[in-house]
Amino acid sequence: MWLVPALFPAVYAEPLPPAVVHQPYHHQLPAAGTLGCAGFQPLFQLAGGELPDGVHLEADGRLRGEPQRIESGAISVRVSTPCSERMSDWAWTVRGAPLLFVEPAEIVLDSSASHAAVLVSSSWPGLSYSITTNTGGPLPLWLKAKPRRGRTPRQGSALTGDRLELTADASLAPPDAAVKLLVHAWGGKEPVTLTIRFGPPSGRKP
């Protein structure tokens, strides 16, 4: 009888998403399929290293907890079924809450200069951010706000920030229109406020 080797799914050795000190952390370690053992769910076990203080690894591969201090380290994880097992190494980091910056913090648009951009940057590289109004409602009809990438520049990037493109429709903007946008980031501290005003033409060239 010939035995056909099972094709075991990979458990990817890459850095874990960063955690934020004193904030709940949840992450599922990947292990597609059943490691060549139909009907059995993979069992995850810590095989080496230490997790952040306050975080633990559950048998189904979920990392849960609340990190207690800023630190970094690495772990080895054994993923097994009755048919096979595999080891993987993971690096982890616990950071302080990210800070967001918006430059400039106030924009004035008018019918002759209805387009502008601000730069969104952060103390964390590659940080995703989102935009809401300060009231939680939708953007006014006269304004469009479109992030270029929706995340701050990655580590080593020559860019100083992500461009948030702002466009006003003069035909829809009421006199002296104004709106405050809030720029949020996961795990961040207070959101950053961006004020956008629409006024009469200032004589500037577009």
Residues 68 and 118 in one domain: no
The percent of residues above 90 in pLDDT, for the chain, comes to 66
Per the structure, how many domains does the chain have? 2
Domain boundary among 95, 128, 154: 95
CB 36 within 8 A of CB 47: no
Alpha-carbon distance 31 to 17, whole Å? Answer: 16
Residues 161 and 144 in one domain: yes
Q: Which residues of 147-174 are buried (b: 16+ CB within 10 A; e: fewer)?
A: beeebbbeeeeeeebbebebebeeeebe
Residue with tokens 């501290």: 189
Range of the domain at 59: 19-95
Domain boundary among 95, 129, 149: 95
Alpha-carbon distance 100 to 123, whole Å? Answer: 7
pTM of this structure: 0.70
Residue 204 resides in a domain: no
Q: What is the pLDDT of residues 38-60, one digit of tens each?
A: 778 889 999 999 999 999 999 99
Q: What is the pLDDT of residues 92-151, one digit of tens each?
A: 999 998 899 999 999 999 988 899 999 999 999 999 999 999 998 999 999 999 999 999
Residues 53 and 107 in one domain: no
Which domain CATH number covers 109? 2.60.40.10
